[in-house]
Structure 1
Amino acid sequence: MRVLHTADFHAGRITRGYDRTSELRDALTEIAGLARTERADAVLVAGDLFDSVNPSAAAEGIVFEFFLRLKELGIPSVVIAGNHDSAHRLGSLKGLLGWVGVQMVADLSADLSALTRTLETRSGERLIVGAIPYISERRLLRAADLLGQDVGEWRQKYRDGVGQLMREVGKTFDPTAVNMMMLHTTLDGAKPSGQRSVVLDLNKTYTITGMQFPAGTQYAALGHVHKPQQLGEGVLAAYPGSLLQLDFGEGGEQKQVNLVEVFAGRPAQITPIPLASGLELRTLKVTHADLERRLEEAKSFQGLLKVVVSAPPGTALPGLKETVLRILPNVLAVELDAASLPGSVAPLATREGLSRLELFERYYQTTRGELPAAVRAAFIEAQQAVTDEAREGGAA
């Protein structure tokens, strides 16, 4: 059996004001083409189809076009919701998506058997997928109720809670079929893009360990971490990573999808397939003294740039952003090296039109540097929790 594993589309992503929709359309077209040429029996999408809970019509369009292409190819798929997705929104589309061969698992329900999806593939083998969508602590409390557990105890034991869900799902595995788990989560040992692994300590209570995958799991298809990587602790697990270099912390990463070849009862094998679509992101660090020379040298670069300028404290830099953009119009951000700043400095761009996330990201970059993926995800989850509570309060 040949299974194509992908994740983290983030359709609708705007990087420093630059819309990535056309790039993502190209990447999804490329993946559909790979599903055909690699003779995939199924496609697994491990969450974060969209970059926000309220995606644009254009973002929805390119994602649904992708699933229509898979239907035309006769290739079924299993999809889970990620932390950026609206579980309610995806859940409401489950019936329509099912018509084009998409088995969607958007949220937990009273029927835990709904977390297991079985595909009869054209290879002649059955594929059983334990599909667990992203579970925030708030959603896990619902799972505690469903399993008759002490909610207060589960609040402190996120890892154990997800582990118990996986054990329940594992009871449906069949040794005569191919058995896989799919989750949108952080696995111990995963390294985020452009950051040291210690960064994930900020999200430590939301991690699981590879030893928790149920017996019989032949492959764990993961989403959430954008850096492609394989992890092995009892079970072969992998992140294919995001489809595009979504921000400058991911600059230089080769994006990919994973082709998983596996037979019932045998170990899985992964072949990473690099993607050609998407612009490269690069950070150009320069001194004020050699600014124009370095910018001229970078004119041949066809991707998107962030320019970080260092200068002696107190140096006047009038018209810095205008100078950079005049030479390199593909620059999305111009920043001053914090070490060269005499205390706090006003941002180079105005706050007008920026979302709360963009404002927070700008603040973090000014005070600490590139925003870690774990911190970004935590901010989005907190913001969504406030929105949900406000909505529930209004409904009451």
Structure 2
Amino acid sequence: MRVLHTADFHAGRNLRGFDRTPEVHEALTEIAALARSERADAVLVSGDLFDTVNPSAEAEGAVFDFFLRLRDASIPAVVIAGNHDSAARLQGFAGLLGWVGVQLVAQPTTNPLDLIRTVETRGGETLTVGALPFLSERRLVKAADVMGGDVGSWRQKYREGMGFFLRKLAEGFRGGSVNMLMAHATMDGAVPSGSERTMQFDLLNAYTLSPLQLPSGAQYVALGHVHKPQQSSDMPLAHYPGSVIQLDFGEAGEKKQVNLVEVEAGRPARVTAVPLASGRELRTVKVNLDQLEPRLAGLAGFTGLVKVVVRAPSGTAMPGLKDRVLRLVPNTLAVELEALQEDLAQPELRREGLSLPELYEQFWRERRGELPEDLRAAFREADMGAGEEAV
């Protein structure tokens, strides 16, 4: 059996006023073609179809066109809602999407076994998927804050609640079937892309799952939420395929992909990363003000999207800077200023090569003025004593 795993479309993403939806549409068209050319028996989409809970008509059109292309290729799909999706809105589409071969799980029910989805492939094999959509922990966080509770205990309660669902989903796995789990969640140790939005902060502060909580009966765990492609667990095998395009400058340089999972009932899965070519490349360029023109001239011919960070001494007046940058690089989306560190901009404040007493004297001078002689002598004496002990 061949299963194509993808996630994190974020259709409707707007970057610094620039709509990325056409690029997402291009990527989804590429993925649908890959599903056909790679002879996929099914496609798994692990959440965040949309970037907002109220997506534009163009964003909806991009996603629905993807599912229609899969329908035309007779490839079924199983889809879950992510944290960026409106679960209620997606639930309203579930019936219609079912007519084109998409089994959508947007909201958990009181019976976790309602989250089991089964696909009968053209080859006569059965794929059983435990589909767990995003479960929000925000109410727990709010309750902990309001009630003064121990946040650590709430995190443990989240793990226990997720563990309950995961165990129940594992009860739906079947002998003689390929068994997979889908989840839109953060695993311990997940490495973020460094997204400019809140992703990195969320991952550092998020409620997380341990790989030990993943059911051993799952031959593959199809994860979504983290935009950087990565393997999250060996036993069972769990992967994030990542976002389908470089969504913001925090993802600049990342190679995007989908995962092709080859697996038979009762046997280990094999995962192959299939690279994606769609989406404009993002690039961040840092340049000193006095090198602005020659450095940016090197971007001639670059067709991606650019963020330019201009470094200059603090307090430097730079009227018309954005216009200067745009004349050189019209595809610039953002121009930011970064003050040079004073110790680098002013030679008299450089710290490299200074002894500890000299550093201390400079520190005192920068904040209080001239260092009193008695303090200077005391610090030098203490520094000499430390050196003798080291010898």
Provide the TM-score with structure 2 as the length reference.
0.81
Q: Distance in 1 between matches of 2:260 and 2:299?
A: 36
Cα pair 1:4 1:42 within 8 Å, conserved = yes
Residue 295 to residue 154, structure 1, CA distance change in 2 (3 Å): closer
SS in 2 for 1:157: helix
Could you tell me which residue of structure 2 aligns to residue 272 of structure 1?
273
Partner deviation per Cα, 1:131-187 (whole Å, 9 max, x = no partner): 00011125789xxxxxxxxxxx76752112111100001001112100000000111
Partner deviation per Cα, 1:297-320 (whole Å, 9 max, x = no partner): 111211000000101112111110
Could you tell me which residue of structure 2 aligns to residue 91 of structure 1?
91
Q: Distance in 1 between matches of 2:286 and 2:205?
A: 32
Alignment of 1:18-57 (within 5 A): 18-57=18-57
Q: Distance in 1 between matches of 2:202 and 2:83?
A: 18
AA of the residue aligned to 2:179: N
Residue 203 to residue 134, structure 1, CA distance change in 2 (3 Å): farther
- Tell me how far 1:102 sits from its aligned partner: 0.5
- Tell me how far 1:120 sits from its aligned partner: 0.6
Q: Distance in 2 between matches of 1:25 and 1:156?
A: 39
Could you tell me which residue of structure 2 aligns to residue 5 of structure 1?
5
- Tell me how far 1:230 sits from its aligned partner: 1.2
- Tell me how far 1:21 sits from its aligned partner: 1.4
- How many percent identity over aligned positions? 64
Q: Distance in 2 between matches of 1:338 and 1:124?
A: 64
Residue 36 to residue 111, structure 1, CA distance change in 2 (3 Å): same
Residue 329 to residue 177, structure 1, CA distance change in 2 (3 Å): same
Could you tell me which residue of structure 1 aligns to residue 350 of structure 2?
none
Residue 3 to residue 179, structure 1, CA distance change in 2 (3 Å): same
Cα pair 2:194 2:200 within 8 Å, conserved = no
Q: Distance in 1 between matches of 2:293 and 2:131?
A: 52
Q: Distance in 2 between matches of 1:69 and 1:239?
A: 23
Q: Distance in 2 between matches of 1:199 and 1:192?
A: 6
Cα pair 1:283 1:305 within 8 Å, conserved = yes
Alignment of 1:196-275 (within 5 A): 203-275=204-276
Cα pair 1:187 1:209 within 8 Å, conserved = yes
Could you tell me which residue of structure 1 aligns to residue 361 of structure 2?
none
Find runs of 4+ consecutive structure 1 residues off by over 3 angstroms.
138-141, 153-156, 198-205, 338-341
- Tell me how far 1:203 sits from its aligned partner: 4.3
Q: Distance in 2 between matches of 1:36 and 1:128?
A: 21
- Tell me how far 1:111 sits from its aligned partner: 3.1
Cα pair 2:127 2:177 within 8 Å, conserved = yes
Q: Distance in 2 between matches of 1:175 and 1:213?
A: 18
Cα pair 1:154 1:161 within 8 Å, conserved = no
Q: Distance in 2 between matches of 1:56 and 1:114?
A: 30
Alignment of 1:1-396 (within 5 A): 1-137=1-137, 156-194=156-194, 203-339=204-340
> Structure 2 stretches of 5 or more lacking a match?
142-152, 343-391
* Structure possessing the higher radius of gyration over alpha carbons: 2
Cα pair 2:314 2:339 within 8 Å, conserved = no
Cα pair 1:105 1:131 within 8 Å, conserved = yes
- Tell me how far 1:279 sits from its aligned partner: 0.3
- Tell me how far 1:339 sits from its aligned partner: 4.4
Residue 200 to residue 336, structure 1, CA distance change in 2 (3 Å): closer
Q: Distance in 1 between matches of 2:20 and 2:202?
A: 30
Residue 83 to residue 338, structure 1, CA distance change in 2 (3 Å): farther
Cα pair 2:186 2:203 within 8 Å, conserved = no
Residue 138 to residue 304, structure 1, CA distance change in 2 (3 Å): closer
Q: Distance in 2 between matches of 1:103 and 1:140?
A: 29
Provide the TM-score with structure 1 as the length reference.
0.80
Cα pair 2:10 2:48 within 8 Å, conserved = yes
Residue 244 to residue 60, structure 1, CA distance change in 2 (3 Å): same
Cα pair 1:211 1:233 within 8 Å, conserved = no
Partner deviation per Cα, 1:178-209 (whole Å, 9 max, x = no partner): 000000011111100137xx956864451101
Q: Distance in 1 between matches of 2:277 and 2:221?
A: 25
Residue 199 to residue 7, structure 1, CA distance change in 2 (3 Å): closer
Q: Distance in 1 between matches of 2:20 and 2:220?
A: 31
Q: Distance in 2 between matches of 1:162 and 1:85?
A: 19
Q: Distance in 1 between matches of 2:103 and 2:202?
A: 33
> Structure 1 stretches of 5 or more lacking a match?
142-152, 342-396
AA of the residue aligned to 1:327: L
AA of the residue aligned to 1:336: L
SS in 1 for 2:313: coil
